[in-house]
């Protein structure tokens, strides 16, 4: 039986998927490639941060190194109500994400642990909602929010009209369902022998094991709700109900505000998503790699 010859010590597999020779030339190419990648991906972010803290006189000349630092852009943005828009965004994303997680966990536990007639149809309907773009749903959604069935309440012009529609998201439900299916049934059977009910099993056994999936759902759900533009555009009737993404459009058309104010508001809109990812990145990475290794 022939054995494979050992790998040469002077070769290595790069993270980009190709094999290269060790040596000064290969190291130089690798450094240049990494610098180009960092410039492409980090360059716009650096330009955004520099422009937010610098006076921008010419919109066509954004630099990566500030000549002078100032907070005038943020002061002007605050004078135009950005803090109010930011507070509206936090209210919508906070309550919306809480409802979304509650709905996703409840629906996923029912789909993963219980069998009932029409379950495949329910999964198909949930999955089909991901195939429809927001533009198609805009008019029906606005009609429903103007007169909510059964209760006949008008949610147009309220923050509740931006919160309730995001309470159920097919992506979160499917992620939680697939993750809960991997939890051994023996754990729940042992808890039922001890007299635990479904709610206690879900709270004390299933949810602690689903923390990686909750991290994935939390990050994607936060980003989805925070970046909502179409929904606030349909619901908001005056500037006091704007969220920050919707207010950016107003600042963009405000010739007196200037590009610096727009960049400052854009930086404020970007930071919460970055902070949310940094706070949940450990659970996020565990959720992405869950099930990749069997053992």
Please tell me whether residues 110 and 211 are part of one structural domain.
yes
Q: Residue 162 burial by CB count (10 A; 0-12/13-18/19+): exposed, middle or buried?
A: buried
Does 28 score more than 70 pLDDT?
Answer: yes
Q: Is residue 201 part of a domain?
A: yes
pTM exceeds 0.85: no
Does 18 score more than 50 pLDDT?
Answer: no
Q: Is residue 222 part of a domain?
A: yes
Does 286 score more than 80 pLDDT?
Answer: no
Does 139 score more than 80 pLDDT?
Answer: yes
Q: What percentage of the chain carries pLDDT values higher than 70?
A: 86
Q: Is residue 60 part of a domain?
A: yes
Please tell me whether residues 22 and 94 are part of one structural domain.
no
CATH number at residue 154: 1.10.3720.10
Please tell me whether residues 94 and 55 are part of one structural domain.
no
Please tell me whether residues 223 and 270 are part of one structural domain.
yes
> Which of 70, 97, 115 corresponds to the end of one domain?
70
Q: Is residue 112 part of a domain?
A: yes
Spatial CB neighbours of 154, under 8 Å, sequence gap ≥ 6? 145, 146, 147, 148
Please tell me whether residues 124 and 183 are part of one structural domain.
yes
Q: What's the per-residue H, E or C state across the chain?
A: CCCCCCCCCCEEECCCCCEEECCHHHHHHHHHHHHHHHHHHHHHHHHHHHHHCCCCCCCCCCCCCCCCCCCHHHHHHHHCCHHHHHHHHHHHHHHHHHHHHHHHHHHHHHHHHCCCCCHHHHHHHHHHHHHCCHHHHHHHHHHHHHCCCCCCCCCCCCCHHHHHHHCCCHHHHHHHHHHHHCCCHHHHHHHHHCCCCHHHHHHHHHHHHCHHHHHHHHHHHHHHHHCCCHHHHHHCCCHHHCCHHHHHHHHHHCCCCHHHHHHHHHHHHHHHHHHHHHHHHHHHHHHHHCCCCCC
Average pLDDT over residues 89-104: 95
Does 151 score more than 80 pLDDT?
Answer: yes
pLDDT computed for residue 290 by the predictor = 60
pLDDT computed for residue 9 by the predictor = 46
Q: Is residue 50 part of a domain?
A: yes
Please tell me whether residues 139 and 28 are part of one structural domain.
no
**Are the CB atoms for 261 and 79 separated by under 8 Å?**
no
Average pLDDT over residues 148-169: 91
Q: Is residue 3 part of a domain?
A: no
Average pLDDT over residues 4-18: 50
> Which of 44, 70, 96 corresponds to the end of one domain?
70
pLDDT, tens digit, 9 for 90 and up, residues 269-283: 999 988 888 888 787
Please tell me whether residues 167 and 146 are part of one structural domain.
yes
Task: Please give the residue range of the domain that contains residue 60.
Answer: 11-70
Q: How many domains does the chain have?
A: 2
Average pLDDT over residues 195-221: 88
> Which of 70, 96, 115 corresponds to the end of one domain?
70
User: pLDDT category, 294, cuts 50, 70, 90?
Assistant: very low
């Amino acid at each position: 039986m022939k054995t494979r010859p050992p790998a040469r010590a002077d070769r290595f597999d790069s993270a980009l998927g190709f094999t290269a020779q060790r040596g000064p030339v290969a190291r130089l190419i690798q450094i240049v490639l990494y610098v180009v990648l960092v410039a492409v991906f980090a360059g716009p972010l650096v330009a955004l941060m520099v422009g937010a803290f610098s006076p921008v006189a010419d919109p066509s000349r954004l630099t990566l190194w500030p000549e002078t630092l100032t907070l005038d852009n943020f002061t002007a943005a605050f004078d135009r109500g950005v803090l109010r828009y930011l507070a509206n965004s936090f209210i919508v994303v906070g309550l919306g994400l809480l409802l979304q997680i509650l709905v996703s966990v409840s629906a996923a536990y029912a789909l993963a642990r219980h069998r009932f007639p029409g379950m495949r149809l329910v999964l198909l309907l949930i999955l089909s909602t991901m195939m429809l773009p927001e533009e198609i749903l805009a008019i029906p959604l606005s009609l429903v929010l103007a007169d909510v069935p059964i209760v006949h309440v008008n949610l147009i012009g309220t923050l509740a009209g931006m919160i309730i529609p995001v309470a159920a998201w097919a992506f979160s439900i499917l992620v939680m369902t697939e993750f809960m299916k991997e939890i051994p049934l023996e754990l729940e059977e042992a808890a039922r022998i001890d007299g635990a009910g479904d709610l206690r099993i879900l709270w004390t056994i299933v949810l602690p094991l689903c923390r990686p999936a909750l991290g994935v759902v939390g990050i994607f759900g936060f980003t989805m709700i925070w970046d909502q533009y179409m929904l606030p555009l349909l619901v908001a009737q005056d500037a006091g109900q704007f969220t920050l993404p919707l207010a950016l459009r107003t600042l963009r058309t405000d010739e007196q505000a200037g590009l610096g104010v727009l960049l400052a508001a854009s930086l404020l809109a970007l930071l919460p998503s970055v902070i949310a990812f940094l706070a949940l990145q450990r659970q996020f990475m565990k959720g992405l790699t869950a099930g990749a290794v069997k053992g």
